[in-house]
Structure 1
Amino acid sequence: MLSVNEGSNNLVRAINNRLNALSFHIREYYWVDMKKINEIYRYKTEEYSMDATNKFNIYPEQIPSWLVDRIPEEGGYLIGNLQPAHMDFRFFTLGNLWSIVSSLGTPKQNEAILNLIENKWDDIVGGICLSRYAILL
């Protein structure tokens, strides 16, 4: 929506730099797959430094028991919210599909999201249909 010309070159460069940083942050810290879950299980807690592995002070006990069964080995997704010491592990279909359309995830992450949707189609679509049916009641 921004035309590139001499006057806007610096602004376009600043936007692209910011988008790269934002994309990295989301891809790195909001991504959950089996590899990431295994990493979280090994996190040390109460780390406060620039070199901390557990940057958000997440406790492994916060991982819900249903999560390991829900994610296929070749699947993964972007979580909905991340705040200090808390991760929201619910799967948001629309948000993850939008991340694919907007190229927010890497190609590998995009494929993993689609694999998760394909493998858990009945659960995801069934959940959507049940929630819409409940609204009608």
Structure 2
Amino acid sequence: MSRAPVPASLLALLLAVAAPVAAAPATPSEGSVMSELPAPVAQLVAAVTAGDTDAFLALFPADGVVDDWGRRFSGHAAIRRWSDKEFIGAKGVLTPRKISRSGDTVTVDAGWKSSYYSGDSRFVFVLDGDSIREMRIVGH
């Protein structure tokens, strides 16, 4: 299974953002959580921060799924419609605070802030190599 490579513009943004973030005092838990994120999840956080829907979608296979509190969105077109309104299009900011992993399943407790919804959220990612097969947003 292949997916589109991460756009050079996103990689440049990551490098540009990394220097000021590294210089800013971070709480020990924030720094360690970010360093523990598997690559696809870290790339998702970066894409959301950059407001880059194309980079976000590239992390999912064509039949990938987002489950937002029981509402399922399958495939890039459905995920884009959802994200344009409630995720990236709502100027979302995802701040990972705690991570746990069991096999290919990664659970991230995070702060979420957007113009659509703000509050603590749990994101469960089912990874498939370098892709995110499914992202579920659930209650704690």
Q: Larger radius of gyration, structure 1 or 2?
A: 1
Higher helix proportion (structure 1 or 2): 1
The answer to whether TM tops 0.5 is no
Higher strand proportion (structure 1 or 2): 2
> TM-score normalized by structure 1?
0.30
> TM-score normalized by structure 2?
0.29
